[in-house]
Structure 1
């Protein structure tokens, strides 16, 4: 008896195709630029990247301080304690000079202190930097939520933002990662989770959206469609390497910020590379177009390109007769 192996799938012929393992950031990178996706996730050795930028240092320090604040005893969770944690977590990387770093340390410490002035220290979140995961018919999704709140018997996904531009409700509504976090939390904890919020630390504003079960399913369907492309691209890369035609670059102003631009001639032709501190200089024309990049909790610059699904921008989604994610009662997506 002869057993054959499907060279494209890398599995025994006749067996089910394994679920595609991915995080929201992996899928979002593909949407932003397939060339960047290849260099970040597939090329080995990985092309060298530039040193971290100042806005990444700001974002990472802010996320770490807000995480550690919840580890303090309840009585010690004061706004001033949050500012102290920010100063302790500060990262001296990417700034123009030590003076610029010191100014921003003071500035961001004040922002964290003001933000925490509106947070109830006794309302312990269900999770802080909590990994959530779920499975669809195509994907095995996994991602990390900055904060998972429990309010009125339901769960709420909270994502911290440190960009100079404050996000709006459309950003929350169209965010594919937020929708995936909500669906994953619903599935894992068997508790309804449709509310997603972007908490902008510099201004203390909150941009939120309340999904429906239908809108979450649409977002998950969109994630499955992206995964179909990335799975095919991954297979082709395994066969022909960098000769694969799946990884054409998508030149845009983001190329001036890309960590991999040194290995991408097309990206270099877009324009000169932005300085490590350009995103902090909000008075510099084009320094941070529309707040496209900000520090992320995993230390990477994150694209804020909209991944709209379902209703068009500004169009109400409405509610259908069913407002759950299917599967067993309270069990979310299966």
Structure 2
């Protein structure tokens, strides 16, 4: 009999969190502990919204001024929906809010030095894909933009609001964009011709041409990570991992590395997580 509760799914961000720190993954995904609002996250959301809605406009109207207006509209909507957000982010300091918005505008200005949006006709924006792969794992993700050429060639584009990493740190970004290529391949039956990351802060572009071997390697990589996650979920122990990111972690009060105390793991959260692997009986009953 089919379950009415939708199974959990793995995404690039969830896998990235686990690789960075399994305990952080547990707090976020299994225990669902609350997090604080972040200027970095809010800025990224704003810039993505502006670039998404910029393409609602006719090509000649896709200017920096229009993108800035789209961003301001998104910010006003966010603040109206979350009345406490301004205090959380800026402690009601208007100058800090202005600086926050100015840095977001600069990222948009950088974008216009990297692409000419009036020459683009995206086939999809914020494209959500969800699929069960050959290992019966549920995978999902949002693709910022999909361009399809007149000849049918597909380019997957992902916006990053931070700086481009040094070459030795590019692997997590490569994995994310290859994850999107895998989603596209499994849902559309074709391999994207090009994968592209736009690092807006320093105007760097990373371009990659995926191969069938990349698809297989990414599938194997996801399965290997999932096996680690599942084993830790069944044991109930997700080890903490120290890194430079610890100072910015939302869960320091619960982390033993920071002299915190972790709450008891959520059994309900563990059960929900383990449904990331599709149930054969449920699938065959559809």
Structure 2 length-normalised TM: 0.74
Q: Deviations over 1:50-84 (max 9, x none)?
A: x2121112111111111111222334322220122
Contact 1:197–1:208 (8 Å) recurs in 2: yes
Q: Please name the residue that 1:78 is paired with.
A: 63
Count residues in correspondence. Answer: 240
Q: Please name the residue that 1:254 is paired with.
A: 245
Pairing 1:67–2:64 present: no
Q: Which has the larger displacement, 78-87 or 59-68?
A: 78-87
Q: Please name the residue that 1:39 is paired with.
A: 27
Counterpart secondary structure, 1:250: coil
Q: Distance in 2 between matches of 1:94 and 1:67?
A: 24
Pairing 1:116–2:112 present: yes
Q: Distance in 2 between matches of 1:232 and 1:102?
A: 47
Q: Distance in 1 between matches of 2:232 and 2:190?
A: 35
Query: What pairs up with 1:1-334 in 2 under 5 angstroms?
Result: 21-43=9-31, 46-49=32-35, 51-90=36-75, 92=86, 94-95=89-90, 97-116=93-112, 118-134=115-131, 135-151=133-149, 153-163=152-162, 165-167=163-165, 171=170, 175-236=174-235, 244=236, 246-267=237-258
Change (3 A) 1:173 1:104: closer
Counterpart secondary structure, 1:146: strand
Change (3 A) 1:28 1:180: same
Structure 1 residue 114, shift from structure 2 partner: 4.2
Q: Distance in 2 between matches of 1:27 and 1:107?
A: 29
Structure 1 residue 184, shift from structure 2 partner: 1.1
Structure 1 residue 154, shift from structure 2 partner: 2.0
Counterpart secondary structure, 2:37: coil
Q: What do you get for the CA RMSD once the two structures are aligned?
A: 2.6
Q: Distance in 2 between matches of 1:253 and 1:141?
A: 29
Counterpart secondary structure, 1:94: helix
Structure 1 residue 113, shift from structure 2 partner: 3.3
Change (3 A) 1:127 1:61: same
Contact 2:160–2:197 (8 Å) recurs in 1: yes
Contact 2:53–2:70 (8 Å) recurs in 1: yes
Contact 1:20–1:139 (8 Å) recurs in 2: no
Q: Distance in 2 between matches of 1:199 and 1:174?
A: 11
Q: Which has the higher helix share?
A: 2
Structure 1 length-normalised TM: 0.64
Which 5+ residue runs of structure 2 have no aligned equivalent? 80-85, 261-286
Q: Please name the residue that 2:276 is paired with.
A: none
